[in-house]
Amino acid sequence: MRYWGASSLMTTTFSTVEMMAVVAAREIRDREVVFAGTGLPILAAALAQQTHAPDCTIVFEAGGVAPKLRHLPMSVGDSRTLSGAAQAAGLFEIFTYVLQGGRVDVGFLGGAQVDRYGNLNTTALGPDYRRPATRLPGSGGAADIAALASRTVVIARHEKRRFPERVDYCTSPGWIRGGDSRARAGLPAGGPAAIVTTLGVIRYRDGSHEPYLASVHPGASIEKVRSETGFELDCDDAVETLPPSAVELEALRDSVDPERIFLR
């Protein structure tokens, strides 16, 4: 590990996407099995693998198992998910043996809507599911990851319309209605550990599963978070998010995404 001083921290500039990728990557511990979806989750997983979690295993639902990523995949089916991979499998193996078999430590999810209890909508916006105002792509593997990973990390753009009290359609269950509602739905394990947003990080209280603001990104503020959140959010314990280190930024820019596929 290289050392970097406070002075370099203060002079380093970074984008919101870089901040989110770094914060999401820190959610991954070494030697964990990571289920990664398209976009920022791939950036986060690849960054973790190149920094603090060199022995984490990345799995992709289309079949790539344990790659040593050399070029960023643009989708989870991309051939780039097979660089140095241990296996080229398929959906059957990933969803049965890996995910349902209980072998995924952390799954990454995104959503057009994220509600108070971390339920996600990637299916349809508007009151009528059959004739939606906006039709979205659908679950893909998201509902499966949300149900069966040991914990999930959600990455989302923090805007009021995207953070309602309740999602229009619950594609991927989080803590459902809080308390023990998730267990009563038939999901005794799993659930969202963190929502990494453009403004900060939301986590959940044990037991009640009520959300709280754990940290605010540099440049954002608690006032901004409150005004962009459509549900009541306890902000009393919020600290400032540790900014990306020089090491993290260098890995992200020079090794993970030198082609600038996702980085801005």
Partner 1 sequence: MDKLRTLAEAAALIESGVSIAIGGFTSQRHPTALIREIIRRGTRELIAYAHSSGSDLDLLIGAGSLRRVEAAYVADGVFAPIAPCWRRFIEAGRLEFEDYSNAAMMARFTAGAMGLPYLPTLSMLGSDLLEKEGIAAGQRAADPTLARHKALVQICPFTYRKLVLVPAVNPDFCLLHVQKASRSGLLRIDGQEFLDVQMALSSRTVIATCEELVDDDELRREPERNRIPPFAVHVVVPVPWGSHPHGVHNAYDYDPEHLALYNEAAETEAGFADYLARYVTGPADHAAYLEAIGGSARLEALRARPGWGYNPALARKGR
Give contact residues for partner 1 (rule: CB under 8 A).
38-39, 61-64, 70-71, 74-83, 88-92, 95-96, 99-100, 123-124, 129-144, 146-148, 169-173, 176, 182, 185-188, 259-262
> Is residue 132 within 8 Å of 113, Cβ to Cβ?
no
H/E run at residue 2: none
- From first CA to last CA, the distance across the chain in angstroms is 26
Phi and psi torsions of 17, nearest 5°:
-60, -40
> C-beta of 81: minimal distance to partner 1 in Å?
8
The residue among 97 and 239 lying less far from partner 1, judged by its C-beta, is 97
The residue among 125 and 199 lying less far from partner 1, judged by its C-beta, is 125
Instruction: Say which of 18, 61, 228, 248 is annotated catalytic.
Output: 61
CA separation for the pair 95, 89 (Å, rounded): 11
The residue among 174 and 244 lying less far from partner 1, judged by its C-beta, is 174
Type of residue at 81: T
Taking alpha carbons only, the member of 82, 203, 190, 194 closest to residue 145 is 190
CA separation for the pair 49, 68 (Å, rounded): 8
The residue among 22 and 167 lying less far from partner 1, judged by its C-beta, is 167
> C-beta of 201: minimal distance to partner 1 in Å?
23
> Is residue 116 within 8 Å of 72, Cβ to Cβ?
no
> C-beta of 8: minimal distance to partner 1 in Å?
30
Active-site annotation holds for 232: no
* DSSP classification of residue 39: T
> C-beta of 143: minimal distance to partner 1 in Å?
4
> Is residue 166 within 8 Å of 119, Cβ to Cβ?
yes
CA separation for the pair 120, 154 (Å, rounded): 9
The residue among 174 and 200 lying less far from partner 1, judged by its C-beta, is 174
> C-beta of 224: minimal distance to partner 1 in Å?
25
What residues act catalytically? 61
